[in-house]
Structure 1
């Protein structure tokens, strides 16, 4: 069993935006600063105080129409500013966030929702701070020269280490480690040949698994995009129906239509979040295929060194650039996998080998040119 102790805390991400990213965030803040004036007008008109429920019901659509803010930010913003009356917009330098408005994309980037869609920008983790007391899960703080996200977290300290499942990339890493530590040390031994050949068989399994993952990801991407199109079409049609209801005096129908509009917008945001996740999985699966192709080239090279007559294997770089032969072997291997599994490679999948070779060729030429420049300087 794993026992964990929670420690409520806050953490800070320092974003590193481009000029375009910073401009988009400042536009978002300017739109957000218009919320207090709209809420003050609703309070005056309806005699309200700091009633969050009433202000959200009456203010959501006017705020959304006037500012163009994302639906979730409108809801969080009304809740955030409901207690404030007569506030100076210039004093507002932060906005509430939740997991629909920002997402940490691994160790190097954060995706943030702005007026013109999601923007991904690098960040630097600044560390943990005092316990988090914010009403929202996080806040975006816009300074003169700095852009930070402060978020509430629960730190868990496990008492025992839990074994994590092996991913495709870690499997490739293990295979590469085996080739480096075993096959190289036994290059004069027939055992080295057996190890390298076993690595080839395992790499073929990895390639097939990565291909299947790519197929599933592409199918999910198609399904989500189709659903998003349906939701957008319904949302667009609903706008015309609302105009008709209001023009004919049917406010009850318009109210029901607005409720449906809010639901549709929430669903679209959820689908967009899923599409972002699918894009990350597609990138990971593609990297796994590229890593497996590189590992296979290395394994075949080790085998060729072991099988060479003594006296020809002294140079570890000998014949390593024989890409045509290795590509042919790899394509034959992929066709063999197709025959065993009954799945046919799509044109896009078949081009992975060519794409990988093109990428490697460009990287080789760039590094060669850099080496020449260093020698001449």
Structure 2
């Protein structure tokens, strides 16, 4: 897995909405918070893409491993027959082939183990980012509510709002770069509503499955 994903996950998980608002309270904090959530969505999508690639790689390695083991067993029977017919030349060829397979199997096994380790890491990243995103959204809602009570909610003209949104994006990149030394990047366009709905659906399903498992254990 690329180091850049690890770094981006680390800096996003360490981000604090309170510190962002405190440091840039006059620079469209609501837009800045929204930009942080979009950054989360982009990194989650990137992690999911990497996870998909790893799953495909693991599947191919597992398939090849199964084929090689089956071929090894088939050669064993063929070698036995060759020996019984005093065809040592054929038996030697079969044995040499088995030795090649014996060298391949550990490599394939190591590849599968590596994929499993990275798969577990990526899944952990995705879960942690989703949790952090829920935290950010909660803080966004709380901040917006407090601003509305104070009559300070952001309600500029459309042109002004667009300008502030652009500024918020660059500020967020600067904050992340200053905090971690890692340059930020522009956001990918995505349907935030659809992604949020998908995330919530997946979370509810996981909760239902865990509850069902608890009920099964209890009976």
- After TM superposition, the score normalised by the length of structure 2 is 0.65
Task: Let me know the Cα RMSD of the aligned residues.
Answer: 3.3
Instruction: Specify whether residues 250 and 240 from structure 1 end up closer, same or farther in structure 2 by C-alpha distance, changes over 3 A only.
Output: same
1:333 corresponds to = 195
Tell me the CA shift for residue 204 of structure 1: 0.7
Which of 264, 286, 295 matches 2:132? Answer: 295
Aligned to 2:91: 254
Q: Evaluate the alpha carbon distance shift between residue 331 and residue 356 of structure 1 in structure 2; reply closer, same or farther with a 3 A threshold.
A: farther
What SS does structure 2 have at the residue aligned with 1:178? Answer: coil
The reply to whether residue 170 of structure 1 matches residue 32 of structure 2 is no
Larger radius of gyration: 1
Distance 1:174 1:182, change over 3 A: same
**Preserved contact between residue 228 and residue 268 of structure 1 (Cα < 8 Å):** yes
The 8 Å contact of residues 179 and 196 in structure 1, kept in 2 or not, is answered as: no
Residue 189 and residue 268 in structure 1: after superposition, are their counterparts in 2 closer, same or farther (change >3 A)? same
Match of 1:235 in 2: 72
Unaligned 5+ runs, structure 1: 1-164, 314-328, 336-344, 362-377
Distance 1:246 1:351 in 2: 62
> Which structure shows the higher helix fraction?
2
For 1:222 and 1:170, locate their aligned partners in 2 and report how far apart those are by CA, in whole Å.
27
CA–CA distance in structure 2, aligned partners of residues 305 and 268 of structure 1: 56
Q: How does 1:98-247 map to 2 (within 5 A)?
A: 166-180=3-17, 182-183=19-20, 185=22, 191-247=28-84
Alpha-carbon distance in 1 for matches of 2:201, 2:17: 29
TM-score by length of 1: 0.40
How many residue pairs get aligned? The number is 170
Indicate conservation of the 8 Å contact 2:54/2:119, yes or no: yes
Higher relative contact order (CA 8 A, sep 6+): 2
Residue 203 of structure 2, aligned match among 353, 369, 374: 353
Relative to structure 1, the CA distance from residue 242 to residue 202 in structure 2 (aligned partners, 3 Å threshold; closer, same or farther) is same
Structure 2 stretches lacking a partner, 5+ long: 151-190, 212-219
Match of 1:264 in 2: 101
Which is richer in strand?
Answer: 1
1:170 positional shift:
2.5
Please say if residues 203 and 296 of structure 1, whose CA atoms lie closer than 8 Å, have aligned partners that are also in contact.
yes
